[in-house]
Amino acid sequence: METRTTLAVDKNTLRLSALCYTGTSLTVVVLFVALGQIVGGYPTPAVIGGAIWSFILSMIVTMPLYTSYFRRRRMR
């Protein structure tokens, strides 16, 4: 019998939040690439570099937001 339990954070919560922040970050990347195509004239490495940088920053921004949101929702 388990004597301790993970009440606040379970794997489902983490999985769901990971799905959301990765999804949002990828959306930002798609938006970046699309904008690059619309504006035009960018060398491919610049678009790839920009996409990677946008993804990293988006992950950093959205990861704590989604994680704490889902944790709060789980607690309620």
Partner 1 sequence: MSGQMTSKISLKIAGMSCASCVAHIETALSNLKGVSKAQVNFAAQKAQVEYDPERADLQQIARAIEDVGYEVVPDELSLSVFGMRSAHCEGVVKEGLENLPGVARVEPNSSTETASVWYHAGIVSPAEIKETIRDLGYDVEEKLEGRAALDREREARQRDIRHQGFWMLVSWPLAFLIMLGTFREYWILPEFVPEFLGDKFTLFVFTTPVVFGPGLQFFINSWRGLKHGVTDMNLLYATGIGAAYLIGVVNTFWPDAGFGGEKAVFFESAALLTAFIVLGKWLEALTRGRTSDAIRRLMALQPKIARVIRKGKEIELPADEVLVDDLVIVRPGERIPVDGVVIEGYSAVDESMLTGESMPVEKKTGDQVIGGTMNKTGAFRFRATKVGRETALAQIIHLVEEAQASKAPIQKLADKVAGHFILWVHVLALSVFFFWFFVGYWRFFDPQSTFLLTPYALGEIGVFGFAILISISVLVISCPCAVGMATPSAMMAGTGKAAEHGVLFKGADAIEATSKLDAIIFDKTGTLTKGEPSVTDVIVAQGFDLSSAEGSKFKVQGLEGEKAVLLLAAVAEKNSEHPLGEAIVRGAKERGLEVPDADRFDSIPGHGVEAEWQGRKILLGNRKLMKERGVPFEALLSQAEALENDGKTAMLVAAEGKPAGIIAVADTLKDYSVEAVEELHRLGLEVLMITGDNRRTAEAIARKVKIDRVLAEVLPQDKAEKVKELQATGKRVAMVGDGVNDAPALAQANVGIAIGSGTDVAKETGHVILIKEDLRDVVVAMEVANATMRKVKQNLFWAFSYNVASIPIGAGLLYPFFKLVVSPELAALLMAVSSLSVTLNTLLLKRFAPTLEREKALLEKTLSLEPSFAGHGSEMRRR
The pair of three-digit structure tokens given for residue 7, joined into one six-digit string:
């009440």
Decide: is 68 part of the binding site for partner 1 (CB under 8 A).
yes
Q: Is 5 in the site for partner 1 (CB under 8 A)?
A: yes
Q: Exposed e or buried b for every residue in 36-52, given b needs 16+ CB within 10 A?
A: beeeeeeeeeeeeebbe
Work out how close the CB of 50 gets to partner 1 at its nearest, in angstroms, rounded to a whole number. 6
Residues of this chain that interact with partner 1 (CB under 8 A) are 1-9, 17, 28, 32, 35-36, 39, 42-46, 49-50, 53-54, 56-58, 60-61, 63-65, 67-68, 71, 75
